[in-house]
């Protein structure tokens, strides 16, 4: 899933949203004294999932729930909020016509709501099941005060480089297996008149997330998992040498003549989806593009993708061909009330049965230990499942893990400021100031100014 200035509608409404969130929190704490805020006329057998899914994704999930609905009599309804997910989940939870389950594409937003008491802890048996069936590196993201509060609905691999395989073969370009080989490939392409990369960072309500992805990729590969974790936690500032080195790698990429389609202006002015369409068009304006598997939906209808086709993928390489680092993302499903029907749906979403049914519907990747590559309907998803299983190191998207005031506000904004001419030291210093403001606000128990969550990129776009 994460998609122009960074916080477009949200920034304009940030003060109002903060007030609304405060009122909603008060209602939440008063609920026990005055009864539930859910209207009595609500259908007790209906469970509503608030998502940021596309129409296609919503249909696939609905298909995966069909047998469960038949077996239980519970009607599962998906309500897609698109890029306004964060606003909707804050304002409508809890409240009249409130959703029952939220599917969070940004773990940072989920953690904020978990800490504020908006999401419900898992029953002990379901908590144990989630611990058993999902990767250990993802588990800490689900917990607060010793209890798990969510399940992993799906995951996505961001470190995928889509490349024009047939053109590589025609012109003698080899798939790189190390970052040095990738740098040599880029230089060779430019010398021969080809543009290596298509990159677009413009996105409704979320401009900048593609740029933060690139910095995160460089950070994970160059600094390593230890410094990456310290950076996510705020213990390694953005002004520290390892982080500035990652920013410098992005700076070199977008400012090297001939490296990116359209130069810096093209990166700034191109929508994320349009970059994918340009990459797959003929004649090809570039030969590579980095993003997760959702981009395939933007390719021309019927265009084959695979080892013998016009387009294929490889994993963005690091320093060693024997060591595979993956930047990943994921959606967390969390209960917003304790209705038995809500918990029944959440329990089903944590099961291997649901994951296999959803995998059979296509355009999906599960982290469930019992879902094997042959569970997937299409060969591409099966190959991605193999990449997931064989990775040496996996880390969640850093901007999604950081507090929204930092990760999806200051970090996204700084990337756009940098593309518009702000030097790397100024851009990183601005993000560090946002961290300090956030910490100060935590100490006094109030949200920092401008900390209303940024709009979530439509899931499937950044998952």
pLDDT of residue 461: 52
- The answer to whether residue 458 is domain-embedded is no
Statement to judge: residues 186 and 207 lie in one domain = yes
For residues 98 and 123, what is the distance between their CA atoms, to the nearest angstrom? 21
pLDDT the model gives residue 108: 86
pLDDT at residue 91, rounded to an integer: 67
Neighbours of 137 (CB within 10 A): 15
Block mean pLDDT (10 aa), the chain, length 463: 35 37 37 34 80 88 96 95 77 65 91 92 97 94 96 97 98 98 98 98 92 98 97 97 98 98 98 97 97 93 93 97 96 96 98 96 93 91 95 95 93 97 97 96 68 44 48
User: Is residue 176 located within the same domain as residue 301?
Assistant: yes
CA distances from 254 to 104, 196, 210, 250, 259 (A): 31, 11, 12, 6, 7
The last residue of a domain, from among 327, 348, 377: 327
DSSP state of 160: E
Sequential DSSP letters for 191-258 = HTT---B----B-TTTTTHHHHHHHHHHHHHHH-HHHHHHHHHTSS-TTSHHHHHHHHHHHHHHHSTT
DSSP letter at 461 equals T
In a domain, 148, yes or no: yes
Q: Is residue 371 part of a domain?
A: yes
Instruction: Sort 283 into a burial class: Cβ within 10 Å, 0-12 / 13-18 / 19+.
Output: exposed
304 and 364 both lie in a single domain: no
Q: What are phi and psi of 66, to 5 degrees?
A: -55, -50
What's the DSSP call for residue 53?
B
* Judgement on whether residues 49 and 185 belong to the same structural domain of the protein: no
Q: Are residues 150 and 166 in the same domain?
A: no
- Do the domain assignments include residue 402? no
For the chain, what percentages of helix, strand and coil (3-state, to nearest 5) are there? 50, 15, 35
Q: Are 430 and 263 in contact (CB under 8 A)?
A: no
HSE-CB at 88 with a 13 A cutoff on CA atoms is 21
Residues with Cβ within 8 Å of 425's Cβ and at least 6 positions away in sequence, in order, are 239, 244
**Residue of 100, 143, 76, 150 whose CA lies nearest to 336:** 100
| Per-residue confidence (pLDDT) for residue 69, from 0 to 100 | 97
pLDDT at 97: 67
Residues 284, 204 share a domain: yes
Q: What range defines the domain where residue 218 resides?
A: 160-327
> Is position 14 within any domain?
yes
Residues with Cβ within 8 Å of residue 264, at least 6 apart in sequence: 254, 255, 419
Question: How many C-beta neighbours within 10 Å does residue 369 have?
Answer: 13
421 occurs within a structural domain = no
What gap in Å lies between CA 189 and CA 176, rounded to an integer?
A: 13
The reply to whether 310 and 345 lie within a common domain is: no
Work out the burial of residue 353: count CB atoms within 10 Å of its CB; fewer than 13 is exposed, 13-18 middle, 19 or more buried.
middle
Domain total of the chain: 2
Sorted by sequence, the CB contacts under 8 Å of residue 32 that are 6+ apart come out as: none
- Within a domain: 97: yes
Place of tokens 């296999």: 356
* Helices 412-419 and 424-444: angle between axes, nearest 10 degrees: 160
pLDDT at 35: 31
Q: Which residues pair with 305 in a beta bridge?
A: 311
CATH of the domain at 34: 3.40.190.10
Instruction: Give the number of other Cβ atoms within 10 Å of residue 120's Cβ.
Output: 20
Query: Tell me, what DSSP letter sits at residue 301?
Result: T
What whole-number distance in Å separates Cα of residue 148 and Cα of residue 454? 25
Last residue in a domain, options 385, 410, 425: 385
User: Is the separation of the CB atoms in 372 and 385 below 8 Å?
Assistant: yes
């Amino acid at each position: 899933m994460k998609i122009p200035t960074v916080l477009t509608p949200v920034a304009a409404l940030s003060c109002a949203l903060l007030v609304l969130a405060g009122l909603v929190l008060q209602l939440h704490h008063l609920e026990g004294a005055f009864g539930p805020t859910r209207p009595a006329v609500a259908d007790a057998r209906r469970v509503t999932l608030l998502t940021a899914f596309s129409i296609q994704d919503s249909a696939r999930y609905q298909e995966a729930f069909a047998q469960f609905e038949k077996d239980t009599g519970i009607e599962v309804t998906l309500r897609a909020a698109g890029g306004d997910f964060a606003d909707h989940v804050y304002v409508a939870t809890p409240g009249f016509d409130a959703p029952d389950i939220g599917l969070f594409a940004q773990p940072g937003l989920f953690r904020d709501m978990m800490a504020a008491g908006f999401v419900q802890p898992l029953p002990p048996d379901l908590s144990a099941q989630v611990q058993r069936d999902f990767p250990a590196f993802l588990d800490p993201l689900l917990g607060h005060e010793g209890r798990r509060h969510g399940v992993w609905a799906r995951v996505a691999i961001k470190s995928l480089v889509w490349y024009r395989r047939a053109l590589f073969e025609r012109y003698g370009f080899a798939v790189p297996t190390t970052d040095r080989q990738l740098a040599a490939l880029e230089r060779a392409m430019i010398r021969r008149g080809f543009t290596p990369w298509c990159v677009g960072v413009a996105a409704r309500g979320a401009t900048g997330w593609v740029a933060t992805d690139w910095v995160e990729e460089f950070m994970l590969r160059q600094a390593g998992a230890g410094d990456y974790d310290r950076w996510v936690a705020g213990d390694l500032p953005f002004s520290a040498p390892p982080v500035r080195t990652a920013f410098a790698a992005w700076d070199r990429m977008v400012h090297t003549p001939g490296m990116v389609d359209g130069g810096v202006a093209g990166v700034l002015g191109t929508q994320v989806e349009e970059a994918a369409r340009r990459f797959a068009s003929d004649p090809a304006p570039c030969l590579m593009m980095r993003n997760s598997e959702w981009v395939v939906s933007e390719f021309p209808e019927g265009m084959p993708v695979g080892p013998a086709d016009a387009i294929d993928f490889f994993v963005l390489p690091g320093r060693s061909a024997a060591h595979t680092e993956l930047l990943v993302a994921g959606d967390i499903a969390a209960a917003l009330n304790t209705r038995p029907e809500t918990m029944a749906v959440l329990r089903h979403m944590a099961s291997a049965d649901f994951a296999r049914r959803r995998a059979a519907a296509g355009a999906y990747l599960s982290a469930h230990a019992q879902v094997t590559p042959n569970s997937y309907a299409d060969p591409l998803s099966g190959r991605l499942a193999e990449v997931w299983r064989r990775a040496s190191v996996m880390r969640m998207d850093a901007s999604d893990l950081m507090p929204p005031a930092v990760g999806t506000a200051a970090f996204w904004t700084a990337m756009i400021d940098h593309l518009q001419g702000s030097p790397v030291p100024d851009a990183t210093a601005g993000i560090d100031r946002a961290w300090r403001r956030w910490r100060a606000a935590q100490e006094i128990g109030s949200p920092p100014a401008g900390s209303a969550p940024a709009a979530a990129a439509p899931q499937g776009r950044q998952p």
